A and B are shown apart, each in its own frame.
Chain A
Amino acid sequence: MKKLWPTLKKAWEFIILFHRGAFVDKRMAVVRKEAFDINDNLMLLLFGDFLGIPNPMSYYMLELLPYVADDMESWERRIQNRKFIIAEKAAQYDFD
Chain B
Amino acid sequence: MRRFSFFGGKGGTGKTSCAAAYALSLSRRGVRTLVVSTDPAHSLSDAFGKQIGCEAVRLSDSLHGLEIDAAVEAKKYMELIQKKTLDLVSAAIVDEIKRQIEIAYMSPGAEEAAIFDKFVELMESAGTDYDAIVFDTAPTGHTLRLLTLPEILGVWIDQLIEKRKKAMHLMKMASRYDAYLADKIKEDPILETLTARKEKFEVARDFLTDASLTAFFFVMNAERLSILETARAVELLTKHGISIGGVVINKVIPQDAGAFFDKRRVSQEGCLADIRARFSQLKLVELPLLETDVQGLEQLDVMASTLSSLDETKD
Contacts and interface: CB of A to CB of B under 8 A. Distances in A.
B96 interface: yes
B197 A58 contact: no
A79 interface: no
Interface in A41-82: 41-42, 45-47, 49-50, 54-70, 72-73
B160 A62 contact: no
A32 interface: yes
A88 B51 CA distance: 61
A64 B193 contact: yes
B103 A49 contact: yes
Interface residues of B, number: 47
A68 B89 CA distance: 10
A70 to B, nearest CB: 6
A11 interface: no
Interface string B72-97: 00100110010011011100011011
A41 B104 CA distance: 19
Contact of A34 (B96, B101, B170): B170
A24 B174 CA distance: 10
- Main secondary structure, interface of B, reads helix
B197 A69 contact: no
B167 A38 contact: yes
Interface in B160-182: 160, 163-164, 166-168, 170-171, 173-174, 176-178, 181
A59 B93 contact: no
A72 B97 CA distance: 9
Contacts of B88: 66-67, 69
B302 interface: no
A13 interface: no
B97 A67 contact: no
B77 to A, nearest CB: 8
A42 B97 contact: no
A56 to B, nearest CB: 6
Contact of B173 (A31, A42, A46, A59): A31
Given A55-B107, A57-B109, A58-B110, 7 more contacts: A38-B167, A56-B152, A58-B103, A59-B77, A60-B197, A62-B78, A69-B88
Closest 6 CB pairs of A and B: A35-B170, A59-B113, A32-B174, A38-B167, A66-B85, A35-B171
